[in-house]
Structure 1
Amino acid sequence: MKTNQDTCQNCEQPYDKGFQFCPYCGQKINDELTLGVLFYNTISNYFSFDARFLKSFVPLMFKPGYLAKKFLEGKRLLYLHPAQMYLFISVVFFFVSSFTIDKWQKDIEEINKKIANAPVEVNEKKQSKVKLDSIKKADLLENLKENRSKLGLNTDELKKADSIIQSETNNTSFTWDFDKAKVDSLIGAGANDDIIYKEMGMSDNANYFERGIYKGFLNIAKGSGAGNMFRRAFDAVPITMFILLPLFALLLKLFYFRRGRYAYHLVFTFYLFSFLFTLFTILMVFDLLILPIPGWISTLIILSTFFYFYMALLKFYERHWFTTLIKSGVITFIFSILVLITTVGLVFFGIFNG
């Protein structure tokens, strides 16, 4: 080796002295380890990401199809990469939604416990009917009894309140398709699950699918299955989204097969799903931290996503407005069917693993 050459500590290639960076791998020469050097790449990458995300946020939310179009035009460093944006926003979305799901799970578990513990009426078909409104009435009466002194109610007034509440005839009912009282007694006696399944109506030669359904019903009958099933179904959503996202891009490819390769449609899909996740994340944060959003406002916001999708197609594919309107409706309908099938699959996933 020539005396006026050094060797790179990273790639071990020789280079002429005087270089500040290795001409082969790009590592800085004589880069002594300091705190600045240690965190330089992390900090620079973070601020680069942060700047591009902020620059991409407004177009993403208010200019449908703009980012996807600019990315295909070659502006790939000015804005956040579509896949990077989707991954980042999806992580934030599932993190925030976990708090909402926790709340929903607790509500579902509370309802499940009330249904499981409510008194039942068994008919001649061995079906057990639970009057859900009777549960609410019992809770209301219990609150009146506990606070009778604060409310200034005497015994006669409490009886009148009881009769008024009980006289309501508008009852919503829930029916178990088996003798719930007998199943409860078997559960209390510690009977084997297979015996309980048979009492619930499971066939002798039940397959895995049927056993899974009865397993889920038994957990619900015990008062703990619905919440866990809901949680497991939600936990499978991230995997499902990775399946639905490329399928959505495939739909776009089928409807716009002359408008570029599959990757072009995938870019559009990444940005579209990023918009949806961002919007729903903002709604959940607002609902959790500020004030609950009225149902009609949530409905209007969800409906606005269809308008966003239409405008994004119009901007990105540059086709006639009426043709785009028809295609957007058909694509939305087909994808809704796929989402419905996936949702049903998630429910059964929750049952089988509950």
Structure 2
Amino acid sequence: MKNREELTLGSLFYNTINNYLLWDSKFLKSFLPLMTKPGFLPKKFLQGKRLVYLHPAQFYLFVSVIFFFIFSFYIRETRASLDEAANKEINRFKDNDYSEIVEKIADTIKLDSVVKQNLKKQPKSRTASGTLFGTSYSYDEAVVDSLLNVGANQSVILKEMGMPEDAGYVKRKFYEQMLKFQKERGIGSMYQSITDTFPIAMFFLLPIFALLLKVFYFNKGKYAYHLVFSFYFFSFLFTVMAIDLGINRFYDISNWLDFFIFISTYFYLLIAIKRFYEQGWLLSFIKSSIITFIFMLFVIPSATLIITLVAFMLY
């Protein structure tokens, strides 16, 4: 006689489904209040009723996995579109007159006649310029393509791209990544690298949001209390975005309805803050508006900049 039930793939799958999707599961008992009763779940959790409803961190993790699974389809499609556009741009230069840049490159690195013939197979001059992460760049993409095709040393190419000889580690890494980006024409893969960091960013944005709540409601409990509220609120946001993306996947929702859904998340936050922190409507409106303003205009752009920088350096 077996004292323990034998673990099989079927039983493991059943237990997972039972924990989240059956009618008596904590998830479904928590899902309806989350969507229809703003502030209800965090309040009940702090009141000690933690066996009936799903733990806020578990709820957040489960919903975020669903959201990023749906979001991944859009990422792949966008990456494919970007790569296709980049390839079209490259092919546009294939049949042009290439003699304009030969002498410039030949004089730069003293190329022989054989290399000059190879250079004549390269496209016309086209300039890449701009400022990224505080570093300005401006160089001729066609020249760099030519140097790559003739096997020029990387240091020569980086110099042609404008990297100073006394460049430090960060600046050198910047130019090396720019070179890699042009070599691979990795617009799509660069986009993929950035979007792959979104889940990590959310784990930083959530505690920052909780910190803002702590600042505005410093006498309403420990930081952990505000973190509980943030877990449930972000679970609501991910749920709304997952539903919106899922519907748009099969039926294109009008822009005004998408905007209405976006705005509705603020009113959800307002009601949730009013009920959870038990303050008047006017004070709740002022505080929730300021928190939203700071989060949208400062926290998210700063996080996006850091994410893009990290993704670019690791690309």
TM-score (norm 2): 0.78
Shift of residue 232 of structure 1? 1.4
Structure 2: how far apart are the matches of 1:34 and 1:62? Answer: 39
Going from structure 1 to structure 2, the CA distance change for 1:106 and 1:70 (only over 3 Å counts) comes to same
Shift in alpha-carbon separation, 1:214–1:37, aligned structure 2, 3 A = closer
**Who is 1:86 aligned against?**
60
Query: How far is 1:97 from its partner?
Result: 1.5
Alpha-carbon spacing, 1:193–1:351, altered in 2? closer, same or farther (3 Å): farther
- In 1, are the aligned partners of 2:214 and 2:226 still within 8 Å (CA)? yes
Matches within 5 A, 1:336-351: 336=296, 337-351=298-312
TM-score of the superposition, structure 1-length normalised?
0.70
> RMSD between aligned alpha carbons?
3.0
Alpha-carbon distance in structure 1 between the residues aligned to 2:85 and 2:9 = 53
Q: Which residue in the other structure is 1:47 paired with? A: 18
1:260 to 207, 221, 233: 221
Larger radius of gyration: 1
Written as runs of structure 1 = structure 2, the 5 A alignment for 1:119-134 is 119=93, 128=126
Query: Contact 1:64–1:312 (CA<8 Å) still a contact in 2?
Result: yes
Q: Which amino acid aligns with 2:289?
A: G
Letter in 2 for 1:197: L
Give 2:113's aligned residue.
none
User: What displacement does 1:269 show?
Assistant: 0.4
Unaligned runs of 5+ residues in structure 2 are 101-123, 129-136
Pairing of 1:221-300 with structure 2 (within 5 A) = 221-222=182-183, 224-288=185-249, 290-300=250-260
CA–CA distance in structure 2, aligned partners of residues 178 and 338 of structure 1 = 33
Worse-superposed segment, 302-311 or 81-90 = 302-311
Measured in 2, the distance between the counterparts of 1:342 and 1:322 equals 30
Paired residue for 1:326? 286
* Rounded Cα–Cα distance in structure 2 between residues aligned with 1:34 and 1:52: 23
1:50-89 matched pairs, under 5 angstroms: 50=21, 51-89=25-63
CA distance in 1 between partners of 2:143 and 2:13 (Å): 63
Q: Which runs of 4+ in 1 moved over 6 A?
A: 36-42
Retained in 2: the 8 A contact 1:216–1:225? Answer: no
Q: Is the 8 A contact 1:93 1:281 kept in 2?
A: yes
Alignment correspondent of 1:217:
178
- Taking a change above 3 Å as real, the CA distance of residues 223 and 297 of structure 1, as seen in their structure-2 partners, is farther
Within 1, Cα distance between the matches of 2:58 and 2:281? Answer: 31
Shift of 1:224: 2.5
User: Does the aligned pair in 2 maintain the 1:66–1:316 contact within 8 Å?
Assistant: yes
